């Protein structure tokens, strides 16, 4: 399903959930907050980023960054309202897999997850367990979520927010029901309500419901709370896979 077809559904959903213009101020305040904090974090974390890049190169052949097209959202002003359009963007992560790893394994896993064929109560999770494509150092990066740090660049570019719904690949969106598209009424986030409360221990519907809950309640105060909660969630590996 192409982005254009996804947008035909997305536009219908966005029309129903269009925002009044008085939310524009909150959007731009959040945007300024995101950019300011992302720049500060990039400067402070530069030595760590360089160290991770060196260790990736030492551990396996291939580029330092893994760049993948994901599906996100863009806010557009339309008269007295603002609506959200579905847009593709290139998301940055530190490479945790062997170079040119086959993506078909993950696509099949996501399809089974979306269809409810994974028993999350018995260890079947959103994330692949014992994924053979992951490098030795990559396992550490994923467990600590340090592989997500390059997404600060996506935040500065305006493609992501520090907090928001999880950015997803197009093949996952193909499995969505119409009501799932409400999750595209905010910028995708580096962290979010799903990452803090659900991680990989929820079903597809539960994951989307958490993202929609965030969209309906979002505020700078909630963003700060979720960013602070992300740290212990990662440290104690809540739902990590």
Cα angle for residues 172, 178, 179 (degrees, 5° grid): 100
Other beta carbons within 10 angstroms of residue 54's beta carbon come to: 11
Looking at the DSSP assignment, which residues form a beta bridge with residue 191? 163
- Helices 46-59 and 136-144 cross at an angle (nearest 10°) of 150
Helix, coil or strand: residue 237: coil
Q: Which residues have a Cβ under 8 Å from the Cβ of 217 and sit 6 or more positions away?
A: none
pTM of the model: 0.82
* C-alpha–C-alpha distance, residues 45 and 62, integer Å: 23
pLDDT tens digits, the chain, 241 residues: what are they?
455 555 555 454 444 455 555 567 888 899 999 999 999 999 999 999 999 999 999 999 999 999 999 999 988 876 667 778 888 999 999 999 998 877 776 677 677 776 666 655 544 556 666 678 899 999 999 888 899 999 999 999 999 999 999 898 888 888 888 889 989 989 999 998 887 876 556 778 888 899 999 998 888 899 999 998 887 766 555 544 4
CB atoms near residue 60 (< 10 Å): 15
3-state DSSP assignment of residue 59: helix
Task: Write the DSSP symbol of residue 134.
Answer: B
E strand or H helix at 240: none
């Amino acid at each position: 399903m192409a982005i254009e077809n996804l947008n035909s559904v997305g536009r219908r959903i966005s029309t129903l959930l269009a925002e009044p213009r008085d939310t524009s101020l909150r959007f731009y305040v959040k945007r300024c907050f995101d950019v300011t904090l992302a720049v500060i974090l990039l400067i402070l974390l530069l030595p760590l980023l360089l160290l991770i890049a060196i260790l990736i190169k030492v551990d396996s052949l291939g580029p330092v960054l893994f760049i993948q097209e994901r599906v996100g959202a863009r806010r557009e002003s339309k008269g007295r309202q603002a609506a959200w359009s579905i847009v593709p963007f290139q998301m940055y992560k530190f490479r945790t897999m062997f170079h040119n790893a086959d993506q078909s394994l993950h696509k099949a896993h996501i399809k089974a997850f979306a269809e409810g064929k994974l028993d999350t109560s018995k260890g079947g999770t959103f994330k692949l367990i014992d994924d053979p494509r992951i490098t030795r150092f990559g396992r550490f990066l994923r467990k600590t979520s340090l592989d997500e740090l390059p997404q600060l660049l996506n935040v500065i570019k305006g493609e992501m927010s520090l907090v928001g719904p999880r950015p997803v690949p197009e093949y996952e969106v193909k499995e969505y029901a119409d009501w799932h598209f409400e999750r595209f009424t905010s910028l995708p986030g580096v962290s979010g309500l799903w990452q803090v409360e659900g991680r990989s221990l929820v079903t597809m519907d539960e994951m989307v419901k958490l993202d929609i809950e965030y969209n309906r309640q979002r505020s700078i105060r909630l963003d700060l709370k979720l960013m602070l909660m992300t740290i212990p969630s990662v440290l104690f590996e809540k739902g990590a896979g």
